Amino acid sequence: MTMTEITKTDRSPWAVFLIFLCLGLTSFGGPIAHLGYFRDEFVVRRQWLSERSYADLVALCQFLPGPASSQVGIALGLSRSGYRGALAAWLGFTLPSAIALILFALGIASYGDAMPAGVLHGLKVVAVAVVAQAVWGMARNLCPDAPRISIMAAATCFVLLIPSAWGQVSVIILAAIVGLLLFKPQQGEAHDPLPISVRRRVGLFWLALFFALLLGLPLLAAVFPNQTLAMVDAFYRAGSLVFGGGHVVLPLLQAEVVPTGWVDNDAFLAGYGAAQAVPGPLFTFAAFLGASMNQAPTGWLGGLICLLAIFAPSFLLVVGALPFWEHLRRNLRTQAALLGINAAVVGLLLAALYQPVWTSAIHGPQDFGLALVALVALMFWKLPPWLVVLGSGILGGLLSIAL
């Protein structure tokens, strides 16, 4: 069975795993580009949810600490096939990069040199096309009038002037307030609920477990000195307290593993470089660090422990928050706020398209040309994203040799 033969009525965890595995193998470009891939796959092609529901889901995950793209994937798997679907989505999206980084940590030094620099640059350029396509498609649906276009533009400028995770959260809060003041939705308007089966009481349990681990793990690590427990505490805390995605977590992880002597700084920087060369979430860098530990557990076991620890908060927060999010979305005042938030989410994507996606990838006419070809291939030739990614990598490598 090919990917295209998995119909939108197939709700098995295995089908969810295969779909996300394909994305995990081809989703280069960081969390913003991942959201573009997800939108193309689940909103445009498979129609698992509407444009508005997808934007609502992205807005929720922007509020939560942790990797937003992975959290969106977990929520999509949960809505499609319950808890097993959530686990299948996470495994499919995460395993390719996690396995590659653990192998790199175990001594495959040629891994980082196997791909020419031009190929890596081509993969960064294709992220420009992916994000541009997402911005265009979401803007057409979510910013159809002057007030919402204005919110989008203001959000873009605000985030570019205040480039921080708290700046993004502030924009969403301000957009919600503006939405409450400007918009008067009718009953049932602009609401396409996700088929979430988690009850509110169960959601409260997961949220309580999240906070219990966040507060309890440091105490346990202090009372019972143990390397494994200390690793779980450090990586769980990193996944719980960092807003803004994968790159923001790197300084915190460095402060946890380098001064303690768990990983030397040269290995840390080598792993960071390798993490840029693989698809999927940047949080899988935790698997590299776990496999590189100078104290047991290390290797595959250490990588698995750190990987699970850093992603555990994402599961608990998403599953715990979604039942309340669905309830709030049925409220007219919440819907008004969401009209503003959805426009602001487009503004956040537009800001990210410029910084860091465009500024880190487009350095000359050849880069602009490659990005334009990739955009045309995605939007007008309707080629699958994985094929456009592969072609862009090959063309990037050829251009680096020719120029």
For 248-277, the pLDDT digits (tens) are 566 678 778 888 889 887 677 667 767 766
The per-residue pLDDT for 393 is 81
The per-residue pLDDT for 246 is 58
Q: What is the mean predicted confidence (pLDDT) over 311-321?
A: 93
| Listed range (177-191, 194-208, 315-329) with the worst mean pLDDT | 177-191
- Report which of residues 243 and 50 the model is more confident about: 50
Q: Measured between alpha carbons, how far is 360 from 32 in angstroms, rounded to an integer?
A: 14
4 class by beta-carbon count within 10 Å (0-12 exposed, 13-18 middle, 19+ buried): exposed
Say if residue 176's pLDDT is above 50: yes
Residue 224, sorted as left (phi over 0), alpha (psi -120 to 50) or beta, turns out to be: beta
pTM: 0.70
CB atoms near residue 184 (< 10 Å) = 11
Percent pLDDT > 70 in the chain is 84
Say if residue 312's pLDDT is above 80: yes
In angstroms, what CA-CA distances link 56 with 76, 172, 190? 12, 11, 10
Which has the closest alpha carbon to 116: 268, 271, 277, 281?
277
Tens digits of residue pLDDT in 113-134: 555 667 767 877 887 887 788 8
Tens digits of residue pLDDT in 35-92: 888 998 998 888 888 888 888 788 778 767 788 889 999 999 998 888 999 999 999 9
Angle between helices 332-352 and 299-329 (to 10 degrees): 140
pLDDT tier at 10 (50, 70, 90 boundaries)? low
The per-residue pLDDT for 385 is 73
- Report which of residues 202 and 276 the model is more confident about: 202
**Average pLDDT over all residues of the chain:** 83
The per-residue pLDDT for 247 is 54
Peptide bond into 297 cis (omega under 30): yes
Which has the closest alpha carbon to 178: 367, 347, 343?
343
pLDDT tier at 110 (50, 70, 90 boundaries)? very low
Amino acid at 1: M
Cβ(57)–Cβ(194) below 8 Å: yes
Q: What is the mean predicted confidence (pLDDT) over 7-32?
A: 81
The per-residue pLDDT for 8 is 47
Amino acid at 370: L
Tens digits of residue pLDDT in 83-109: 999 999 999 999 999 999 999 888 743
- Report which of residues 346 and 267 the model is more confident about: 346
Percent pLDDT > 90 in the chain is 33
Q: What is the mean predicted confidence (pLDDT) over 308-328?
A: 88
Q: Measured between alpha carbons, how far is 403 from 393 in angstroms, rounded to an integer?
A: 15
Peptide bond into 356 cis (omega under 30): yes
Cβ(281)–Cβ(69) below 8 Å: yes
Cβ(50)–Cβ(265) below 8 Å: no
Domain boundary assignment for the chain: 117-184+191-400
pLDDT tier at 112 (50, 70, 90 boundaries)? very low
Amino acid at 86: A
- Report which of residues 2 and 226 the model is more confident about: 226
84 class by beta-carbon count within 10 Å (0-12 exposed, 13-18 middle, 19+ buried): middle
Say if residue 142's pLDDT is above 90: no
